[in-house]
Structure 1
């Protein structure tokens, strides 16, 4: 795996290259809500205190309430620059991810991708929490909301898809009788179909089922999910590598243009989606726990 450029350089480049780009959304609202609901259950006391201090009043202390914020503002002129930060594409049919090769926008500006964004906003929150003086006036509320959203995005396999089809956006398929593109199937339709088929159209029931899987079936995996090599606060290169592997193995397979995706595809891919929601939630909590260790006093005084 390639060595990542230092946080300082990532920060400067983000500020230099605020260039409008096409919007690509991540998990739908249900997926982002689920990721952040799961994360909130795994926050330490210090991290939960810090998060609630940073959340906007409209969230009423609920991180999940703002986890789709980055998609909502991405449609506005003020935040259109953030569009490239929701995903990272690999060369066509390359089922592996490399930061130095892949993390750039369509103008080939380095570090402008979802993994670069996670490093950037992690750095912003961590430097501010440590009380490090900076010439940059970070908006920590926005940093928290962007980070929470992008950790969800990078766990959606087609947010690390192929360049040629824009992560499945240009692959038109039928989801049962509904015409859609493959990216939207993974953002929304698998989750929505699961809600109707298995969870009585109640997202809270689906989240509870995923949480039970975490505490039962995946309990021995949680520490591995949380771990980052070299004591990094976040390790998005690992998350991206997992996603492109899953995209090749599950998302793209048997989903050629014009194909109809029905029960066989849905029932075999749903466990992948639910596990990625679980991993995203557990990892988001782990990142925030590492950022906000013993942070009560500093956040309260900020």
Structure 2
């Protein structure tokens, strides 16, 4: 139960523990001389979060009081919680995950970046919440496009699929692949219907692609990410590749996409020929 006594006691202990570890100086407050207990006082947390000291005291005592999403966000900021602690706070208080925190600038998760080189000769890349390509290994750039030779605003899977003529040549069943990609994107975009970055991308695609405009109006949704693709690469010919999508706990909105062929097959041999044509790796692009 989201508001059970056990959950309220756990929430009270968590808040108290986070409060006691945060010094006044770290919170931007004067120390106020000697303190009998470490960390912030309850009334200081209340002031920082913009709530009543009495209400916050009740919350930390485990009483039956309810905290809105806005108040929980204010408490998370005031107590300087990291992403994992913020999620824990919401789970204790509401029994559900918090709204997604959208970063101003999205960078590849450091835990994912080293994997890209280790996966060679298999093509692999990392996409962000809007399906922008954040990093790619050498075969991942050779298989489709050199993502980092494109302007920063065009390093996007949807833009490549619907606006780059090379995508229609590379994917043998372009229509089927484009429709499936769009249905998966629609499922992901449902979490960001008010995100200006998504609104801008969708508007751009509507203007640039009649197929996108027609299919977007169908509201098709698909959640399966793994499968096979038949591709035709101008340098190495036709291949049937399996692709799978992996997530990390630290950055769940980022996806590691890997393409591979059955070991010892002709397709696996062809993948091996992607590397010599790509040249030395760029550490900034992985």
Q: TM-score, normalising length from structure 2?
A: 0.21
Specify the structure having the higher radius of gyration (Cα). 2
Tell which has more relative contact order, 1 or 2 (C-alpha 8 A, sep 6+): 1
Q: TM-score, normalising length from structure 1?
A: 0.21
Higher strand share: 2
